[in-house]
Amino acid sequence: EEQSVEVPVFSAASYVCQRHTGQPGHNPLLTESLAVLAESAELNGDEGRGLAFRRSEALLRSLDRRVQGMTDLRGLPCLGEHSRRVIQDVLVNGRSSEVEETKASSRYKAMKVLTGVFGVGVKTAKRWFTEGICLKHYADLNQPVTRDEADSVSVTVEAAVCSVLPGAQVTLAGGFRRGKTSGHDVDFLITHPDEGKEEGLVRKVVACLESRGFLLYHQTTKNTYQESAQGAGRPSSNMDRFERCFSIFKLTNGGDPRDTRRAQEQAEGREPDQTASAGSRPWRAVRVDLVVSPISQFAFALLGWTGSKLFEREMRRWAVHEKSMTLSSHALYDKNQERYLRASSEEEIFSHLGLEYVSPSGRNA
Ligand code: TTP
Ligand code: MN
Ligand code: MN
Ligand code: MN
């Protein structure tokens, strides 16, 4: 095509956090293929390779049009040789044999079952869950959480939080804040305008929820964060140290939960109700994360818990390599100035980092 000779068809910045990445993008076949290879590399413990595929995937998802041919991709960052080979395969043959083989492998299928349920790495899943919990709620947890269900959990959480600490604020974070219409869990960030009031809040909220019969499982961890002269945490660690609760909610539905489930399955063209046990009872299990942050760290916590994981990771990489700063879900530390940079909004954090603001819906990398 004549126009692609001189003028590049696409241009893109090289860090994910410099771009707007929506859902699902204009090249679903390509991005899904790369996602499979990313997943497979991650499952094999090859993080570097996984990350390379994730970056390629995010790059393609950020493009504002369909890719027609390989020449469209000239000059674009983040696309390694391997990714380009896969893309070419899909563009030319409509499919990639490597992707097909990966999807068919029993190792991939087995691992996919586990990570699909928990939406976390295999190691994390094993650490957090006993096999019993996994099996008991398998069918429910394997079923994506809808936006309506997330809203329903929100109502329950807000009521509990408000009753144990009036004035506390509950914010929906994670994928739903990024505008996703379904997720593997529901994430909430809780804070209080008076610093210190939030201490020990997770335990109180959990006790309240438990007494009201909303919890099937919960595991609470204490806040262990302390600012240090060395700066804001290890940039390589994506685990933060907030007081948090990893839980499984018993979500009761006002109406008949089978109606919404069937409707949803039909809409998605799936076979109706394979989660046999769920059909006979008026509730279902839903994964919920509750995180409590002091108000002084709230903007950082919100940014961190909104994700996506790749977006966060890229922001931290940008901070270190381009700005000599370390960013975590708690703070931003400027290594040149040897001081913490405060922020009371996400916009301020982007601005400290010399980045244009990307709204939550653009962080779906
Ligand atoms: P997730 O709930 O794992 O992912 P998600 O909400 O983006 O997508 P899904 O629909 O599959 O649930 O994590 C939400 C964000 O929270 C993610 O950006 C990473 C962040 N996070 C932390 O900051 N610390 C943690 O310990 C964990 C587990 C997640
Ligand atoms: Mn989530
Ligand atoms: Mn979560
Ligand atoms: Mn208990």
The domain ranges of the chain are 2-104, 137-298, 304-362
Clarify whether 185 is annotated catalytic. Answer: yes
What pLDDT score does 234 carry? 46
- Residues with a beta carbon under 5 angstroms from ion ligand 2: 174-175, 183, 185, 187
What pLDDT score does 230 carry? 56
Clarify whether 187 is annotated catalytic. Answer: yes
Q: Quote ipTM for the complex.
A: 0.95
Residue ranges for the known binding site are 185, 187, 289
Considering every ligand atom, which ligand is closest to the CA of 288?
A: 3
CB-ligand 1 contact for 307 (6 Å cutoff): yes
* Residue 220 pLDDT level (bands cut at 50, 70, 90): confident
Q: Which two tokens stand for residue 308?
A: 């996506």
- Tell me: pLDDT of 275 over 80: no
Ligand 1 nearest-atom number relative to CA 124: 28
Rounded Cα gap, residues 151 and 172, in angstroms:
9
Alpha-carbon torsion 136, 142, 148, 150, what sign?
positive
If one counts every other C-beta atom within 10 angstroms of the C-beta of residue 361, the result is 14
Question: For the structural domain made of 137-298, what CATH number should be given?
Answer: 3.30.460.10
Query: Per the residue annotation, which of 89, 140, 187, 240 is the catalytic one?
Result: 187
Q: Which two tokens stand for residue 278?
A: 């769920």
186 alpha carbon – ligand 3 mean position (Å): 6
What pLDDT score does 8 carry? 78
149 alpha carbon – ligand 2 mean position (Å): 13
The superfamily in CATH containing domain 304-362 is DNA polymerase, thumb domain (3.30.210.10)
- Residues with a beta carbon under 5 angstroms from ion ligand 3: 185, 187, 289
Q: Is this model's pTM higher than 0.95 or not?
A: no
Ligand 1 nearest-atom number relative to CA 145: 10
User: 2-104: what CATH class?
Assistant: mainly alpha
Mean pLDDT of 167-188: 97
